[in-house]
Amino acid sequence: MRTLWPARAGDLVLRRPQPSELDDLLALRNDPACNRFMMRTHVEPETFRREWLSPGDGDHSCVAALDGRVVAIGFLEVEDGMGQPGMPRGTQASIGYLVSPGHWGRGVASALVGGLLTAAFDHLGLRRVTAGCNADNHASTRVLEKNGMRREQHGVEDSWHADLGWVDGYTYALLAREWRAR
């Protein structure tokens, strides 16, 4: 697997987590304040640890550290787009993020998304990156738009959320040529 980390994104250092940090990351991932808008609001501890300790070939997820302390998790998963037989494989990625509540509103998510996009386009050479968010998560829509992503889809009541019921979702995307033209 290609190594993208460590890398800088503004004041953040994006890197792979240390095994000793996994319990704190799990607590962050399962924190109801953090994952209110996520479709999976709880992950099983053993599955979480296994996925971080042995990521798949297309998994380039990371943590974001500020002054040596982990303040966010970034997800970058290389995938195939839609297409007919013969289509190039592994040309796009989906990204996501989760920021510790104590660091909301401080530019952490914006810097992290910028770092994930830099990794996807400048280091992996991908042609397209997507991100999804709950339509009611206005902070996430601002973060994605601030990083140049455009809203491509508004799915009306397209997802079931155990706490919120049927929710609307947005899909954002950015092409490599748009990234380069910024």
The per-residue pLDDT for range 91-106, each reduced to its tens digit, is: 999 999 999 999 999 9
Q: Are 14 and 63 in contact (CB under 8 A)?
A: yes
Residue pLDDT, tens place only, 36-82? 888 788 889 999 999 999 888 899 999 999 999 999 999 999 998 88
For residues 96 and 140, what is the distance between their CA atoms, to the nearest angstrom? 10
Q: Taking each helix axis as running N to C, give the angle between helix 22-29 and helix 45-53, from 0 to 180 degrees, rounded to the nearest 10.
A: 120
pLDDT of residue 1 exceeding 80, the answer is no
Of 108 and 48, more confident: 108
Q: Do 148 and 182 meet the contact criterion of CB atoms below 8 Å apart?
A: yes
Average pLDDT over residues 33-38: 85
* Tens-digit pLDDT profile for residues 4-17: 999 999 999 999 99
Higher pLDDT, 145 or 161: 145
Q: Which CATH number fits domain 7-181: 3.40.50.1950, 3.30.390.50, 3.40.630.30, 3.10.450.350?
A: 3.40.630.30
| pTM score | 0.94
- Rounded CA-CA distance 37/168 in Å is 11
> What pLDDT score does 76 carry?
97
What confidence score (pLDDT) does residue 141 get?
97
Instruction: Give CA–CA dist 35/40, Å, rounded.
Output: 8
What pLDDT sits at residue 44? 92
Quick one: pLDDT band at residue 2, thresholds 50, 70, 90?
low
In which element (H, E) is residue 132 found?
strand 128-134
pLDDT digits (tens, 9 = 90+) for 109-159: 999 999 999 999 999 999 999 999 999 999 999 999 999 999 999 999 999
Distance CA 20, CA 86 (A): 43
